[in-house]
Structure 1
Amino acid sequence: MAPYEITPEEQVELDKALYDALDPLATAMRSRASGLPGDRMWEADPVEVALSVLATWKVVDTEVKRLTAIAAGTAGSYGASYEQMGAVWGITRQGARKKWPDAISRAATTAATASAPLELCGGRAELTQDPSSGGWRWTGKGADGTHGAADGDTWYATKEEAAAHAGAFLREHAVHQP
C-alpha cells in the first residue's frame, strides 16, 4: 500500500465523517430551496431531495478544491517542489504546476519569507519573522471574531512551530454549527 492510500477501515470512517459533515449543510440548503423546515426536508419529492444532496456535494467539492489549493500553497511556501506535490497527488510535476500555478512563487524561492498567511477553520493568522533574531510570532482572528496572538515576548524557533500554535488558536475559535 502506498503511503498516501487509505485502508478499507479508514475509508469507512472517512465516508461516515463526510456524510456527518454534509448532512447539516444539505438540510439547510434543501430547507431554503423547498421552504420546508429541516426536520421535514425528507418529505419532499425524492428527486428534488436527491438533487439537493447532489448540489450540496458540489458545494463541498468546490470547498475541497479551494482548501487543496491552500494546502499546495502552504507546501510550496515551506519549500515543497511541484515534483513532490505531484507525487503525493498522483500526477506529474507538470500536472501539479498546472493544477496549482501559484503554489510556488519565484520570489519565494529566491528570498527569505518575512511573513506568511495561514487560513484555517474559517479564520486567518499572519506569521511574521523577526529579522534580527529569526524567531517567528503569530497574530490572528478566529472565525468567531476572536483576536489572538503569541503570548507576550514569545518567539518560536521555526515558522512551523508558530503555525502550529496559530492553527490551534484558529481551530479553537472556529464557528461550530449546532
Structure 2
Amino acid sequence: NETYYARMTINVTNEYRQVRIQRKKKTNLENANLHSTTTRRNNVFGTILIITIEDSSYIDITLHDIHKQEFYTKMNLVGEIIFEDHRGALETGYLPHEILSQSIFDFVYHDDRLVKLHALWKCVTTGLSKLQWRLNARDGSIVFLQTEYKLISNPQHPDIIIARNEVLNPMQRSQFDELQTAWKHQCAADIKGNSSSFKFRK
C-alpha cells in the first residue's frame, strides 16, 4: 500500500481541499506464451480511499492569491513566528527562514506595540481579533498592515495563531493615525488589570 498527500479541486465550489490518498498495488500474472514458463508481472495501482484532511491551520495559496498584497504568518501563543509564506518577503524584505523563532514584536513599530499586544491577547482569549499596525521593514521603511488573527486549537498539537496580513490601501493609510489613537485608548483600558505572557524585547 502507498499513501500520498495531494490537493483536489471541488468543481461545485471551485475550492481546493487537502486530501490523503491511499493506493493498493495489485499484481496481475499473465502468461505471454502458453508454451513458455516465463511469467509476466503487471503492477497496477488502484485508488481505494480518499480522505479529506480537516486541518484548520492549513493555508492554501492559489494562483489567484500570488499577486495580492498580503501574506500569512503563524505564531505560537507567546508571539514567536513559526511560519510565514513567501509573499511576506516582497512586503517586508525578510525571507521566511530569517524570521523563524523570532518574536513578532521585534518587527513592530515601537508606537504600535500596545495595539499589537492587545490584539494577540484578545485573540488568545476570544479566538479572533483584528488590528492595523506598522511593521519595520528590512530596508528601514514602514509597512502599514491590517491583520486578522485566528486562534487554532488542536488537542493533538500546541495551539497556534494564524495571521492574515494585508497591506493598507491609500484610503486606509489616510485614516490610520486617527483610528490608531482611538484604539490605543481602548487597548489600555482592556489590558489594564490583565496579566499577559507576551513580552517586549528591548
Please tell me the TM-score bracket, short chain as reference: under 0.3
Greater strand content? 2
Higher RCO (Cα < 8 Å, 6 or more apart): 2
TM-score, normalization by structure 2: 0.19
Greater helix content? 1
TM-score, normalization by structure 1: 0.21
